[in-house]
Amino acid sequence: MPVQVERAERFRALHGRRRLFVLPNAWDVPSARTFEDAGFPAVATSSAGLMVSFGYPDGQTMPRRELVAAVRRIADRLSVPLSADVVAGFGRSPGEVARTVRSVLGAGAVGVNLEDLEPSRGRLFRVGAQVEKIRAVRRTAEAVGIPLVINARTDALRHHPGTPTARFEEAVRRACAYRDAGADCVYPMGLTDAGSISAFVRAVDTPVNVMVRAGLPPVTELERLGVRRLSFGPSASYAAMGLLRRASREILTYGTFASLVDGAITFDELNLLAMPKPSGRSRG
């Protein structure tokens, strides 16, 4: 437990700085270790990347026990903090969501990403219901003694009815409610243009997470706009699968394989990604 608490405090401190930090999203042990070895101060899981790697579509069709086992395996091989994407919490009630979070805390995570979109129906949960889930998650973390970082994602920009202005206002309303319920960071899915990002940051007055995607301003501009956290989301897994597709086309079309060998790591380097670092052998 002391090791996990220390990691949780480190992760929380990253959100308290004025500077933006970048949080890469991994889908398995080697991708997580690659990010750690590159120098990132923390790693998160990608729900889409991780679930698809196990043969499940993004959402909540992957059994919770398999998700927790995957989080445990990744956490056991890292010495930096790990945040787990638990989608909508694998349950409709606050108690069910809290049980999911308790499980991923037991697996070694020190942060969670919790969204307000019901995956099976593609619609938003009521604000009040989501607030109760966040409160239940916060109580659970306090009960087990882990200063958990809750990143509350809202999909109002994409799924709330009405005009773009109405959707933006709903995203702000939800983010403020989630902040007041105990979320440490808010995540407006789909926010990309500088003007909207700046307005959102000012309106919610709490750490804001945005995701890497086409059209997003560069890191220096995001920092100027007041963004505290930039996550990869599934973009790294998209890029990895894109490389495999390009390499496949190259060898099938031209009979060459530069895509597979240029810039590749060695067998020994690959094997080391499966080995725990000395400080990552135990969470307490």
- 60-76 pLDDT, tens per residue? 999 999 999 999 999 99
What pLDDT sits at residue 278?
A: 64
CA dist., res. 81 & res. 195, Å (int): 32
The domain 2-280: what is its CATH number? 3.20.20.60
- The string of pLDDT tens digits covering residues 2-53 is 899 999 999 999 999 889 999 999 999 999 999 999 999 999 999 999 999 9
CA dist., res. 19 & res. 24, Å (int): 16
pTM for the model: 0.94
Ramachandran quadrant class, 34 (left: phi over 0; alpha: psi -120 to 50; beta: rest): alpha
Q: What is the mean pLDDT of residues 180-190?
A: 98
Q: What is the mean pLDDT of residues 199-205?
A: 97
Query: Is it the case that residue 235 has pLDDT exceeding 80?
Result: yes
Of residues 137, 170, 132, the one with CA closest to residue 154: 170
What pLDDT sits at residue 277?
A: 75
- Residue type (1 letter), 227: V
CA dist., res. 172 & res. 168, Å (int): 6
DSSP bridge pairs for 151: 113, 185
- The string of pLDDT tens digits covering residues 208-218 is 999 999 999 99
Q: What is the mean pLDDT of residues 104-116?
A: 98
Ramachandran angles phi, psi of 124, nearest 5°: -80, 140
CA dist., res. 234 & res. 12, Å (int): 23
